[in-house]
Amino acid sequence: MENRNGLCVDVRVAPATGYAERDEALEMLRRLRRRGYAPKTLAGDKGYCLGDFPQKVLDLGIKPHLAVPDNAPARSPARRFVRNKGHKVSQVIRKRVEEIFGWGKSVGGLRRTKLKGRRRTWDGSYLIMAAYNLTRMIRLLRPATA
């Protein structure tokens, strides 16, 4: 999700392995780079603070604004950015990504896909997220009424 306007930038579908979210997040960051985007920060919940994910994000030149669990190692790279003002803002805004998935499930049909296979499900989710972005852009372009 892009923080300024709440648009969906990328979506991936992967089998649940326990590591899939973190692995796919890194792949999405690499794909964004190839497309010419240069994200400066990455917000995430406590699940992203585990393992070597924060270090891999730093290696890509991106500041990890991750929620740090109490039992996280003291030397975790994610702890470096916790006191940063931008970290607090990222943690508030990151909850908006749940709105995107909520819309996709309730309106777009992501709750129970009718497609078989990972590739088809991924393609379908791309269409659903494109529809979400269109509805979001309409709201963003609508003039503010007094």
In a domain, 94, yes or no: yes
In a domain, 146, yes or no: no
Quote the number of domains for the chain.
1
Q: What value does the mean pLDDT of the chain take?
A: 85
Mean pLDDT for the stretch of residues 121-132:
90
Looking at residue 146, its pLDDT comes to: 55
In a domain, 11, yes or no: no
Q: Which residues pair with 63 in a beta bridge?
A: 41
In a domain, 3, yes or no: no
In a domain, 7, yes or no: no
Sign of the Cα torsion 134, 140, 143, 144 reads positive
In a domain, 30, yes or no: yes
In a domain, 28, yes or no: yes
Nearest Cα to 68, choosing from 20, 130, 84, 59?
84
In a domain, 55, yes or no: yes
Range of the domain at 94: 20-141
Burial class (CB in 10 A: 0-12, 13-18, 19+), 26: middle
Which run of H or E residues covers position 44?
strand 41-44
Looking at residue 34, its pLDDT comes to: 92
- What digits encode the pLDDT tens for the residues 54-80? 889 999 999 888 888 777 777 777 777
